[in-house]
């Protein structure tokens, strides 16, 4: 059984898109290193205000990873929305996939009824997982398109 944890937090990193991307690059590289070691996969959705993350893997490792993340000063108010056991990983190919909300992915948000600001406080974990899966598919299609074009 795979343990899955969904949480949200407030992004406390000051600055614009550029600072946010630099910061995210650091988070993603630490995640790839640690999550690869710990058998954790998942997806991170974020904008200027929020982080929403799905972590999946062994229960003890997911808990340990979440506890470490929760102490990170780049965000605050980490709140678990849901934990459950699932049959299989939903994000098997990502030690940590990530998608910043940009105009490019706006259509994906719109398909999920999120037209303006995302409010994770009001989102159900099933909606978050569905959004993350579509963002993952969008990223994948984009990469394949780039490969074809090059
Ligand atoms: C929103 C957010 C998500 C994060 N996700 C992960 C993660 O999935 N895995 C991870 O190891 N660290 C993650 N981190 C970073 C951890 O908080 C911490 O900085 C890192 O694990 C420390 O790694 P190190 O001890 O190898 O330097 C995240 C941080 C933030 C702010």
Are the C-beta atoms of 40 and 57 separated by less than 8 Å?
yes
CATH number reported for the structural domain that contains residue 60 in this entry: 3.30.70.100
Query: Which protein residue's CA is at the shortest distance from atom 17 of ligand 1?
Result: 69
- Which pLDDT belongs to residue 99? 76
Question: Cα 101 to chain center, whole Å?
Answer: 11
pLDDT of residue 19: 82
> 143 is in which domain, residue-wise?
2-149
The number of distinct structural domains making up the chain is 1
CA dihedral 86, 90, 94, 96 (to 10 degrees): -60
Neighbours of 66 (CB within 10 A): 17
| CA 61 to ligand 1 center in whole angstroms | 13
pLDDT score for 148: 62
């Amino acid at each position: 059984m795979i343990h899955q944890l969904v949480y949200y937090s407030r992004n406390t990193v000051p600055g614009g898109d550029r600072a946010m991307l630099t910061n995210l690059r650091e988070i993603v590289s630490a995640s790839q290193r640690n999550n690869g070691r710990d058998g954790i996969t998942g997806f991170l959705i974020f904008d200027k205000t929020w982080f929403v993350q799905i972590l999946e893997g062994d229960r003890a490792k997911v808990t340990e990873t979440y506890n470490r993340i929760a102490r990170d000063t780049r965000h605050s108010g980490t709140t678990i929305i849901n934990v459950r056991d699932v049959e299989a990983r939903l994000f098997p190919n990502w030690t940590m996939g990530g998608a910043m909300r940009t105009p490019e992915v706006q259509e994906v948000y719109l398909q999920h009824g999120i037209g303006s600001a995302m409010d994770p406080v009001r989102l159900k974990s099933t909606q978050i997982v569905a959004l993350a899966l579509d963002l993952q598919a969008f990223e994948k299609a984009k990469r394949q398109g780039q490969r074809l074009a090059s």
